[in-house]
Chain A
Amino acid sequence: MTDRRMGRRGFLKGVALGGVAATAGPAAVAAQTARPADPSAPRAPGSVSTAAESTPRKHEQTYDSCGGDYMVDVMRGLGIEYFAATPGNTFMGLHEAVINYGMLGTPKLDFITTMHEEASVAMAHGYAKIEGKPMACGMHTAVGLQHASMAIYNAWCDRVPIFMVVGASIDASRRKLWVDWYHAAQDGAAMVRDYTKWDDQPGSLQSWGESAVRAYQFAMTPPYGPVLLSTDTLMQEDPYPGGRAPAIPKLPRLVPPAAEQSALEDVARLLVAAESPVIFADRAARTPEGLKLLVELAETLQAPVCDSSNRLNFPWRHPLNQSQRQQAVVAQADFLLELEPGDPFAVSAMRAPDGSVRSLMKPGARKVSISSVELFMKSNYQDFQRYPSDLDIAMAADAEASLPALIESVKRLLPARRKSAVAARGAHWAQAHHEDLERSRQAAVAGWDDSPISMPRLCQELYAQIEHEDWSLVSGSSFQSRWPQRLWTADKHYQYIGEQGGAGIGYMAPATLGAALANRKHGRLSVCINGDGDLMFGPGILWTAAHERIPLLYIIHNNRSYHMEIMQLQAIANRRQRGIDRVHIGCAIDNPNIDYATLAKSMGVYAEGPIERPDDLGPALRRAIAVVKRGEPALLDVVSQGR
């Protein structure tokens, strides 16, 4: 133990003892004298009255060690940098250890203050997609975990590691207040077990350490996922058992599961023999290395790649990127390789609005998937999607870990006589990519000068300001009609991190901040374009951005509605021939319009808006980016078209 810690705890001990001496009155003395002389002696039923029972915490009022410090050391040993939490009394022991021990030691474990547990987990979600590892979140077993559940589900669906420490008042005889009972559960983790990868409720500090390392190992083995440690409140607060900290278990080098070699060899043969192979990548690039490997495979085969945009799997302006016309590309394929598909059915199927489905695949075309999700899945929530009955080979393995061997086999098996045909294929797809880009440019001009501001205008005004910076788009883009993918150049893994996972709204605002937190130490310029409805699920995240001084350019795509729903409601109302003049009810976010700039300013964030004229965007962006470059968040409220 360091001198610094001795000093802090020793000081507290002295103060606390003095306090007890000063305040102990006659009632306390009476309670003491009413206790049986030998508390372990056998008793008859009813011999223990409530009056005679007091808290069994009759130990000293101060102590020089605590379980929380050990937990901090375990987390630091795992490389965890941040602990995000909205405070709660069931994990105060850990909270105190993080702020007075973790934040002051090396390596530092920083406390990030949030205003909602869902924000804590969603921040960790965004952070992990940039940094490639989990950050920790603290919350109550009951009310905190209940708040966090939506964000946990998003992380589960998005295959993202989250490390959650959930305060649990396990020993009912040691609960102090009524609130401790409200915040306690016999099996709190049960509520989220369907969408967490693993959880435990360790019974001792030593087993907490082992479970923490095990949890981290599970979270970081593909498929990645959220893990949870239900952690006894008193275990956090009490001194080390026996006066010594338990040993910290060693985390082994984690090796992701690669596909079986002979199966990869079979797939390589099919790939080199195919006339028109197509690669579909969903959550394939877990790391920057995954992106490089996918480029290598595609270029070796000169095969087109369709990127789902759940990660930046493939450079957006690469000539083989055919993501803008996925259905047409899949429809002409004679071999389709799917890498970590989130919805393996939909990749090669078209769903009509009436529910009918038809396959996009040509007769005789082959389809193979490599998916780590098949190694670990649960049954209640249906995120596994519809069964893909047209699959020929299903490899339960991590795609990124399988790519090196697959690439090696493809290179070895590709006959020299095929090389000119392969090159011609590449030229064909390069031309198709060029035509896609031209179509996008043509589409972008319509409504260019409109107010509300069009999405391509907004995206291009932003891109013009960041193009020569080391930027990272930390929001999704589906609500912006994927204009960044259509017009921007992006070739680094961190330049785009995908969507929510479970399509749960309220993810974007905190997740973008978590991603920006991860980007901060790398000096990257984090930017996002997020919906107004999403922000209002938890606008307190703006305060966290200001309080923690997290540089992020936050652009509100303010279409003043829950736009997706308003479109669906229109379809239903018109089908019933009742007109759509009332469908704004429940969907529109107006009357009054929300003044997001004032909202942000009230929480210490630089803000401008509402910006309604497209010509005002460029100057506003320049001013806001100057603020972000100083290390602070900035918000622009941009009144925009629906999509």
Chain B
Amino acid sequence: MKPTIRHSLLVTGLLLAHAAFAQNVPDPVRGPPGDAAHGHHLFLTVGCYQCHGTSGEGGGVFGPKLAPDPLPFIAVDHQLRSPAMRMPVYTAKVLSDQDVADIYAYLKSIPPSKQPDQIPLLKIQPQG
């Protein structure tokens, strides 16, 4: 199964589980209200940027791109609390639910990137 398909199924499953069991909980896609400025501060102080870059742009194999256009909140929250692969686990003891909401608000606030064709240094012609 391709990673993208697997990822889509995971997110769908999480959304369904959320719909079935959760009441009075944040919007699973957009997340709870959060303070983007505080989220930015947390992003730079609790270690996110080390692997994901200061704007969530990603750091190669060690940290995938997070922004712009982050995954649904519930997927990000799940990855923080029960991470797949090598990412550190962030329990509520070290990162509160509100902190997570703030970080997510920061990720959502990151503006879209330019397109590669708008950047002269990324105009690359394939060979062959």
Binding site for B on A (CB under 8 A): 315, 317-319, 353, 430, 433-434, 437, 441-448, 450, 452, 454-455, 457, 460-461, 463-464, 480-483, 487, 489, 561, 563, 566-567, 570-571, 573-575, 577-581, 583, 641-643
Contacts and interface: CB of A to CB of B under 8 A. Distances in A.
A189 B63 CA distance: 43
A454 B60 CA distance: 11
A460 B122 contact: yes
B76 to A, nearest CB: 16
Q: Which of B46, B93, B121 is packed against the most chain A CB atoms within 10 Å?
A: B121
Contacts of B91: 574, 577
A448 B94 contact: no
B1 to A, nearest CB: 11
Contacts of B115: 445
A444 B65 CA distance: 10
Nearest to B52: A642
Q: How large is the interface on B (under 10, 10 to 19, 20 to 34, 35 or more residues)?
A: 35 or more
A482 B60 CA distance: 8
Nearest to A445: B113
A643 B51 contact: yes
B86 A481 contact: no
Contact of B126 (A433, A463, A579, A643): A433
Contact of A441 (B50, B55, B57, B124): B124
B58 A446 contact: yes
Contacts of A319: 126-128
Contact of A641 (B54, B88, B114): B54
Given A446-B67, A448-B119, A580 B126 contact: no
A5 B13 CA distance: 85
Nearest to B90: A574
B88 A573 contact: yes
Contacts of B89: 571, 574-575
Given A447-B57, A450-B55, A567 B126 contact: no
Contact of A580 (B47, B116, B119): B47
Q: Which of A445, A482, A483 is packed against the most chain B CB atoms within 10 Å?
A: A445
A641 B59 contact: yes
A575 B93 CA distance: 11
Interface of B: 45-47, 49-51, 53-63, 65, 67-68, 85-91, 93-94, 113-116, 119, 121-122, 124, 126-128
A443 B61 contact: no
Contacts of A487: 122, 124
Contacts of A445: 113-116, 119, 122
Contacts of A570: 47, 50, 88
B7 to A, nearest CB: 15
Contacts of A441: 116, 122, 124
A433 B127 CA distance: 10
A215 B86 CA distance: 44
Contacts of A454: 53, 57
A642 B116 contact: no
Given A437-B126, A444-B119, A563-B50, 18 more contacts: A317-B127, A441-B122, A442-B116, A446-B55, A446-B57, A446-B67, A446-B113, A450-B53, A483-B60, A574-B89, A574-B90, A579-B46, A580-B88, A641-B49, A641-B57, A642-B59, A643-B53, A643-B59
A442 B119 CA distance: 11
A446 B65 contact: yes
B77 to A, nearest CB: 15
A601 B30 CA distance: 51
Contacts of B63: 643
Nearest to B59: A643
B51 A448 contact: no
Nearest to B122: A441
Contacts of A580: 46-47, 88, 94
20 contacts: A318-B127, A434-B126, A437-B124, A445-B122, A446-B55, A450-B55, A454-B53, A454-B57, A455-B60, A481-B60, A481-B62, A482-B60, A487-B122, A566-B47, A570-B47, A571-B86, A574-B88, A574-B94, A641-B53, A643-B53
